């Protein structure tokens, strides 16, 4: 069997998970050929898993130039996702980037432009797109049989984190280390799914609290109101302070309502689309009859393994990716718009002023608690990616 020789930049929580899945044979068309990390302990761990002969690097670009790898998983702090993706693409190396695509859209736009100039495969680790509930939800909404979207609501508050979580690393929940809180760390998957299923909003009006439930400087409580190009509206609520939390995604359309909750997809389907019923009904308190049923879904949620296997298939046979890398900017656009709206105190349009967002973000980076180290993408305020290694 042909195997893609893959390198991993960053073997922390996510990188080590990918390495383990590949080592255990869950991704048979991938083989780990080298790893890079600035932490010698993590390199020692990788060798303990794969053998003392495993090539390891304290400098990621040295690994990229070694000739040992054909493809790379980028699993480093958020600011450096675009930087290393660009370095891979410049060298013609296929690249899979962990979520989020980056911290600010100007940075991610440069990554997408590099991808457009390259023939390499470029993927994003949006593993929640493999969930059959969300795949079916997208099929029903995008298929048009239920009419236009009228309203979307997602309350996603089962991201609870105690203070000990934030205390576990100096980079966590800081503007200079992570670039944001619950929106940048926990919710990129939800924001991606929201736009993947419902499309991009036209405006965002967000209210958020920074360190409301924890001793942190970034957001841990968010309520956002959006409008869509067709006049539909949506609400997105998230927090890391709710216990117990809720995960309920509801979409109201002309001909019914879809609800995804607890792994079940439920459809309330109207006999007559609401616009037609309202126009033709003659009973003052009449309501359109509807039926409720659970929608069967097929397949397993292959998650990270499924994304990596699709990545291998794309490299070897030109098969489709679960999530093309260029699509990572969409959820980040919503996240950036939410932050900008909260910082400015008013609604912002999409597209928004990316230079203004960057300026506002850097104000917060300069006063961030975490000053002992920042990535090159933060330290160089021009937005270029030279400097510190992985």
Using one digit for the tens of pLDDT, what is the confidence trace for 88-127?
999 999 999 999 999 999 999 999 999 999 999 999 999 9
Burial of 247: CB neighbours in 10 Å, binned 0-12, 13-18, 19+: middle
Please state, rounded to an integer, the average pLDDT across all residues of the chain: 94
Q: How far apart are CA 370 and CA 234, in angstroms?
A: 35
CATH number for the segment(s) 4-128+303-326: 3.40.50.720
Residue carrying the six token digits 């296929």 = 94
CA gap 305, 28 in Å, rounded: 10
Mean pLDDT confidence for 360-388? 61
What is the model's pLDDT at position 1?
Answer: 86
Quote the DSSP letter at residue 283: -
Shortest CA distance to 234 belongs to which of 206, 267, 255, 209?
A: 206
pTM of the model: 0.94
Statement: residue 387 has pLDDT above 70? no
Task: Quote the CA–CA distance of 343 and 358 in Å, as a whole number.
Answer: 12
pLDDT at 370 over 60: yes
Work out the number of other CB atoms within 10 angstroms of the CB of residue 186. Answer: 18
Q: Give the DSSP letter of residue 127.
A: G
Read off the pLDDT band of 384 (50, 70, 90). Answer: very low
Q: What are the φ and ψ backbone dihedral angles of 85, each rounded to 5 degrees? A: -60, -45
Q: Which CATH number fits domain 132-294: 3.20.20.150, 3.30.360.10, 3.40.50.300, 2.60.40.2470?
A: 3.30.360.10
Averaged pLDDT, 332-359: 98
Q: Residue ranges of the domains in the chain? A: 4-128+303-326, 132-294
CB-based burial, 79-110: b 16+ in 10 Å, e otherwise: bbbbbbbbbbbeeebbbbbbbbbbbbbbbbbb
pLDDT one-digit tens code per residue, 299-320: 999 999 999 999 999 999 999 9
- pLDDT for residue 377 is more than 80: no
176-195 residue pLDDT tens = 999 999 999 999 999 999 99
- Mean pLDDT value across residues 151-171: 95
Instruction: Put the strands of the sheet holding 290-294 in their side by side order.
Output: 290-294, 264-270, 256-261, 247-253, 149-156, 233-239, 219-227, 203-210, 348-349
Q: Is the model's pLDDT at 130 over the cut of 90?
A: yes
pLDDT tens string 244-262: 999 999 999 999 999 999 9
- Tokens for 374? 């920042």
Q: For residue 380, what pLDDT is reported?
A: 45
Tens of pLDDT, residues 25-53: 999 999 999 999 999 999 999 999 999 99
The answer to whether 318 and 297 have CB atoms below 8 angstroms apart is no
- Three-class SS state of 364: helix
**CA of 202: how far to CAs of 149, 195, 331, 347, 354, in Å?**
14, 11, 13, 10, 15
Instruction: Name the E strands within 107-148.
Output: 122-124
Q: How large a percentage of the chain has pLDDT more than 90?
A: 93
Q: Which of 309, 375, 368 is nearest to 81 (CA)?
A: 375
């Amino acid at each position: 069997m042909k195997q893609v020789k893959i390198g991993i930049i960053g073997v922390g929580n996510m990188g080590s998970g990918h390495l383990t899945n590949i080592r255990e044979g869950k991704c048979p068309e991938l083989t780990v050929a080298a790893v890079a990390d600035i932490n010698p302990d993590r390199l020692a761990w990788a060798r303990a898993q794969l053998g003392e002969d495993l090539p390891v690097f304290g400098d990621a670009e040295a690994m990229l130039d070694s000739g040992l790898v054909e493809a790379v998983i980028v699993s480093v702090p958020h600011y450096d996702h675009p930087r290393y993706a660009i370095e891979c693409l410049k060298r013609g190396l296929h690249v899979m980037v962990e979520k989020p695509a980056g911290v600010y859209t100007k940075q991610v736009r440069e990554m997408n432009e590099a991808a457009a100039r390259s023939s390499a495969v470029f993927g994003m680790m949006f593993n929640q797109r493999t969930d059959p509930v969300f795949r079916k939800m997208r099929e029903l909404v995008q298929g048009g049989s239920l009419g236009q979207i009228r309203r979307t609501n997602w309350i996603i508050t089962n991201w609870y984190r105690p203070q000990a979580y934030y205390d576990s690393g100096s980079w966590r929940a800081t503007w200079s280390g992570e670039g944001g809180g619950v929106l940048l760390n926990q919710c990129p998957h939800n924001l991606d799914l929201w736009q993947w299923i419902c499309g991009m909003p036209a405006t965002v009006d967000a209210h958020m609290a920074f360190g409301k439930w924890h001793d942190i400087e970034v957001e841990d409580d968010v309520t956002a109101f959006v409008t869509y190009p067709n006049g539909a509206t949506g609400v997105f609520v998230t927090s890391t302070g709710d216990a117990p939390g809720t995960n309920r995604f509801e979409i109201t359309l002309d001909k019914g309502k879809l609800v995804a909750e607890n792994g079940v997809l439920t459809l309330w389907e109207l006999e007559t689309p609401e616009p037609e019923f309202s126009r033709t009904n003659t009973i003052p308190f009449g309501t359109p009859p509807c039926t409720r049923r659970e929608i069967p879904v097929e397949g397993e949620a292959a998650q990270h393994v499924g994304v990596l296997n699709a990545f291998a298939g794309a490299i070897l046979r030109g098969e489709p990716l679960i999530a093309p890398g260029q699509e990572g900017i969409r959820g980040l656009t919503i996240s950036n718009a939410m932050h900008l709206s909260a910082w400015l105190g008013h609604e912002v349009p999409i597209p928004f002023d990316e230079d203004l967002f960057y300026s506002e973000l850097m104000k917060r980076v300069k006063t961030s608690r975490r000053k002992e180290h920042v990535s090159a993408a933060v330290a160089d305020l021009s937005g270029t990616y030279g400097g510190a290694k992985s």
